[in-house]
Structure 1
Amino acid sequence: MNNNNHSKIQSENTMNSTMLARLEFPNHQPQQSNDDKLQLKNAWGTYFYKADKQRDWKQNVIYITSISYIEDFWSFYTHTYGLRDLSNGSDYILFKSGCLPMWEDLSSRGGGKWIVTIDPKRRKHDLDGYWLHLMLLLIGDMFGAHLSIYINGAIVSLRVKGDRLALWLKKIDDLNIIKSIGNKFKDLLNIPADIQIIYE
């Protein structure tokens, strides 16, 4: 192994260790009574994923924390790295409690996802804003009750060939509902016409 490769691996390991340390929320902060918090309609689970070919998918997923109140969300958001600070192969995941971010899970079995692909060159300028906006739309139930019941969660993925925002849906037999969610997804995020959105 040459020195450049060795340095790269050391840098990656340091980054991963720092990430794990930062994901451990400080427990010395004063606790706010739940009576003083704004409760969300749904509770949510947050995860971090980092691709490692030596381990299977489940081993690469790190559960971060649960979010039941808006204050919980901002605590999560301020204690995690921005997307521009992460390396390719990283994901942040926000899923409703009781739903796991895997197609084998009963909540997602037979379902699909709306995907927005964004040029990695726009990562520093656009992706953080899109991801924050999408998370707020989900926890704020801004898709509307008639559509939100079909949404399990969202994943933002950093990849060399294109960063992705994915909105995961339950199994839906009505094509019109799938299209309505996709249109709402694009409209609420104000996705420009030159960015493609597809359903898989």
Structure 2
Amino acid sequence: MSAEKSQLNSAWCLWYESRKEVAEEEEEWGTQQKKVTSFSTVEDFWRVYNNILPASKLEPNHMYHFFKEGIQPSWEDEANANGGCWRFGIRPAEHLFEEKWMTLLLSVLGETLDPTGNSVCGISMVMKQKGARIELWMKSAEDVAAIATVGRRLRQLNVVDKKEKLEFRKHMGDVMYVL
């Protein structure tokens, strides 16, 4: 007798990316991205998460991307083309780094930041020399109500230091909102 699994509202993919050097040719962009696996249940998420390197242990220029099935973590993907992302930093040495990353990740996968389930495409954790940059990718930079709602909910999670700027930036554009 097998236990019934708990379905997520959407299927998700884990992508891994390693960039030793930034691609100089646009054709090379994304060639370092590898789709690791897909999952659609809570149990399968934990199976994946418990078998990957903790985010705080990633080397600089290595990234985790958790995106909805069928959406690639690139600006060129049709689902992301007209969007943007909320961006902020977390220092790996910071107390509770893994807990903050987990809170963000579960909020995205459980679709609690986005009441419609249609606005958030995914989340990326980009390890840098002095910390991690978190990017929460949104489908439309024109949907001001969804952007504001998600931004407020991000602040309410208490994962962004109160002194830290939380910026929404249109893909390939300027900062549009700051909370």
Over residues 71-117 of structure 1, what are the superposed CA-to-partner deviations in whole Å (9 max), with x where a residue is unaligned?
11000111000123221111111000111100001000021000111
Counterpart of 2:97 (choices 127, 137, 147) is 127
Counterpart of 1:163 (choices 117, 128, 132) is 132
- Please report the RMSD computed on the Cα atoms of aligned residues, expressed in angstroms: 2.0
2:109 corresponds to 1:139:
yes
Unaligned runs of 5+ residues in structure 1 are 1-31
Over residues 113-169 of structure 1, what are the superposed CA-to-partner deviations in whole Å (9 max), with x where a residue is unaligned?
0011123542xx3332222111111221212433x3110000011101441111000
Deviates further, 126-135 or 110-119:
126-135
Higher-helix-fraction structure: 1
Counterpart of 1:118 (choices 90, 93, 114) is 90
Counterpart of 1:93 (choices 65, 71, 89) is 65
Give the direction of change, closer, same or farther, for the CA distance of 1:63–1:162 in structure 2 (3 Å limit). Answer: same
Please identify runs of 4+ aligned residues in structure 1 that moved more than 3 A.
none
2:148 corresponds to 1:176:
no
Aligned residues: 165
Deviates further, 64-73 or 190-199:
190-199
2:14 matched to which residue of 1? 46
Q: Secondary structure at the match of 2:77?
A: coil
Instruction: Work out the CA distance in 1 between the residues paired with 2:104 and 2:20.
Output: 27
Q: Secondary structure at the match of 2:36?
A: strand
Instruction: Work out the CA distance in 2 between the residues paired with 1:80 and 1:159.
Output: 18
- Counterpart of 1:65, as a letter, is T
Give the direction of change, closer, same or farther, for the CA distance of 1:86–1:190 in structure 2 (3 Å limit). Answer: closer
Higher-strand-fraction structure: 2
Give the direction of change, closer, same or farther, for the CA distance of 1:77–1:172 in structure 2 (3 Å limit). Answer: same
Deviates further, 53-62 or 100-109:
53-62
Larger Rg: 1
TM-score, with structure 1 as normaliser: 0.75
TM-score, with structure 2 as normaliser: 0.83
Give the direction of change, closer, same or farther, for the CA distance of 1:144–1:109 in structure 2 (3 Å limit). Answer: closer
Q: Secondary structure at the match of 1:95?
A: strand
- Counterpart of 2:97, as a letter, is L
Question: Residue 18 of structure 2 contacts residue 62 of structure 2 at CA under 8 Å; is this kept in 1?
Answer: yes
Counterpart of 1:83 (choices 55, 59, 62) is 55
Q: Secondary structure at the match of 2:30?
A: helix
Over residues 7-51 of structure 1, what are the superposed CA-to-partner deviations in whole Å (9 max), with x where a residue is unaligned?
xxxxxxxxxxxxxxxxxxxxxxxxx95x61111110001011111
Structure 1 residue 192 displacement after superposition: 2.9
Instruction: Work out the CA distance in 2 between the residues paired with 1:85 and 1:179.
Output: 32
- Counterpart of 1:64, as a letter, is V
- Identify the structure with bigger relative contact order (alpha carbons < 8 Å, sequence gap 6+): 2
